Amino acid sequence: MEESIQAIDEIIKIMQTNHPQTDGALVRRAYEYALSAHNGQKRLSGEDYISHPLAIAKILANLQMDQVTVSAGLLHDVVEDTEYSLEDIKEAFGEEIARLVDGVTKIAKIKVSGEDEEQIETFRKMFVAMANDWRVIVIKLSDRLHNMRTLSAMSREKQLKKSRETLDVYAPIAHRLGIFRIKWELEDLALKFLEPEKYDKLIRQVAVGRTQREEYIQKVIGIISDKLTAEGIEHEITGRPKHYYSIYKKMEGGKRFEEIYDLIAMRVIVKTINDCYAVFGWIHALWKPVPGRIKDYIAMPKANGYQSLHTTVIGPNGEPFEIQIRTMEMHLVAEYGVAAHWKYKEGVTGEDTLGDRLQGLLDDIKELEADSEDSRDFVESVTTDLYSDEVFIFTPKGKVLELPAGATPIDFAYRIHTDVGNSCVGAKVDGKIVPLTYKLQNGDRVEILTNPSSKGPSRDWLNVVVSPQARNKIRAYFRKADKEENIIKGREIFKRECKHFKTEITEDMKERYEDFITDRFNVGGWEDLYAMIGYGGLRAGYVIQRIRANFIKDFDDDDGRMTLVKAPTKDKSTSIHIQGHSDLEVSFAKCCSPVPGDQIVGFITRGRGITVHRADCINITNTSEPDRIIEVNWINENVPSESFTTNIIMRCLDRKGLIADISTIIGNEGINISSFRTAPAGEDEMKMTIEIVITSVNQVKAIIRKLEGVSSVIAVYRI
């Protein structure tokens, strides 16, 4: 109790340092409410549960968040984990805090089948929540950061799952919001649990020579400081070690540790933008810059608001090192991302340029959500450019727009406005007509030629554009243009599939199911669902299966049950249990290669007994004979008793030694390879199909995680 009181006192003290007008009363009241609500609850570590919301509140306070956000952080688990309701929170703390708590709770309640699908849906809901109120995501990121800091208390399986999710979902979102302080720590903690041996080795490697590096940095700082003082420029110079994950990624890319020279990043912080450029010039006067390593993010800020001058120079000992030059306001944004918005609102700067950029980012996300076909499409769109190179293009009026490298005038047109893109008929670059397939270069001044009478975009443009915004807007145009036709087509397909599955869905049932289908399939209603089915964005059979699974009581009758077809008899596999049909021959489908641990169904064949498929096998979900599907189960699926084959597909960048690396990893797991096929898959890419012999689905998941960490591997998945 005394420890938690000290913790809340420290949190309020941090907040009052960052926000002098804060009296702390609201935060203290939220703490007392959470303390009472979580009374008697413990974490897996054995600590009182209140230690978790207190830790989150401290992270939020250090991010310089306001008292409303910190209070919501203290209360974020109350609705989910205690008897208190959202109405109780609203009554005690008001609408704003209740809305933030509700936003965090909704993200936590995501429950879908399949690890990959779960990540996609988590990503979508987090970005949508971010567009509505980004503070919800800052709370959720703080929650994940503390959970990662205390992950040692969890089982190894959960450590791996949480760490992979952290790298795939949470760190990219922190990047998108520009909260690099959280992003870096999340990445380092995830690496610690995913690759413990490599992580420990990296720590030892960085420790060796640290004293000499620090002495060298102090020498460089002294030289720069003396020069800037002589020139009358007020400044602050800091050096921080690069985070481990950044070094790890460079080593995975083929660099040896000894070749990584920027183990420490140096920053020069000055008062004004003019000072930034003056320092930039003086540093280049002191040391020779490395060609191609100069970047001006002040004139052309990143989408998340990041601004700084970057340069790499050859230092006094002949070693290259990087220097970043920025103002204090830019430094706040670089460290805290959108969280720095509060400083801007309090008048640290004269104009809220960060707020404008933040609103632009949130508007872009809302637009992507509206234009995207489904969750996977939305997530791919919103994350495509997170780590990609960019080009900076000028409008005819001199405004700078950022686009992904390789962007075309069509991408530029849709970046201006949807109507400009849809009516685009040509383009000029620096006053000269160029083809719409032209690859824009840094500094190009682009003018889009439009015609209101244009028939609209060409479907061929989908093969030309590189920005997700342009691609989604073109798709949205054709979806809207063809919507009525797609609705009619989709409704007919749905009716036909309902007959195949012996499933009657009445108008009354549709009304009851509307909330489910809008949330589950991210559509606006039944007509949108039919349209998706009509243009091929969703399989009707899959929709019906999900409805039957979610509303099982509505279909618990003889008409909805699957009937059996006679088949020849034979002793079945000892791995499969079929209620009341022990005399049927059993084989395993080669199309999906089910293994123990998979969700499975049986399919009655004509004359060949039962074939066991994975429940999500496309041949099952698209079957025209659902009457032949029966329920089957694994016997002792957690106790390996037989061997099974399954196929793994890999997309990789071709390099020397890649096949040897992959074979070694699979062999080290004690798994046999029964076949290994390779084929070209585009420029410098190859596709590998590997058939392996395993005993359970857990082995497959484990080997996929290992293979995903191999250098040059783009994607790994199971057929």
Active site residues: 80-81
Structure tokens at 400: 């700078």
Please tell me the chain's helix, strand, coil percentages from 3-state DSSP, rounded to the nearest 5: 55, 15, 30
Pick from 157, 145, 256, 252: nearest CA to 190: 145
Evaluate whether 551 touches 506 at the Cβ level (below 8 Å).
no
DSSP annotation of 584 reads: B
**Count of alpha carbons within 13 Å of 568, Cβ hemisphere only?**
5
Structure tokens at 608: 């060949």
Torsion sign, CA atoms 345, 346, 348, 349: positive
Structure tokens at 224: 């720069």
Pick from 48, 226, 237, 59: nearest CA to 141: 59
CA dist 420 → 236, 362, 439, 444, 468 (Å): 46, 21, 19, 18, 16
CB burial of residue 539 (10 Å; 0-12, 13-18, 19+): middle
Structure tokens at 180: 């690099």
DSSP run (H or E) holding 449: strand 446-450
CA–chain centroid gap for 626, Å, is 36
- CA terminus-to-terminus distance, the chain: 53
For residue 706, give every residue at least 6 positions away whose Cβ sits within 8 Å of its Cβ, in sequence order, or none. 665, 669
DSSP run (H or E) holding 109: none
Cα angle for residues 21, 24, 27 (degrees, 5° grid): 130
What's the length of the chain?
A: 719
CB burial of residue 349 (10 Å; 0-12, 13-18, 19+): middle
Q: What is the CA radius of gyration of the chain?
A: 29
Structure tokens at 159: 């450590």
Evaluate whether 344 touches 335 at the Cβ level (below 8 Å).
no
Distance CA 2, CA 224 (A): 48
CB burial of residue 442 (10 Å; 0-12, 13-18, 19+): exposed
DSSP annotation of 430 reads: T
How many of the other CB atoms lie within 10 Å of CB of 669? 14
Q: Which residue has the tokens 């189960």?
A: 633
CA dist 169 → 23, 129, 140, 190, 380 (Å): 36, 14, 12, 12, 12
For residue 342, give every residue at least 6 positions away whose Cβ sits within 8 Å of its Cβ, in sequence order, or none. 19, 64, 65, 66
Q: Which residue has the tokens 């998945």?
A: 717
CB burial of residue 221 (10 Å; 0-12, 13-18, 19+): middle
Structure tokens at 361: 């980012």
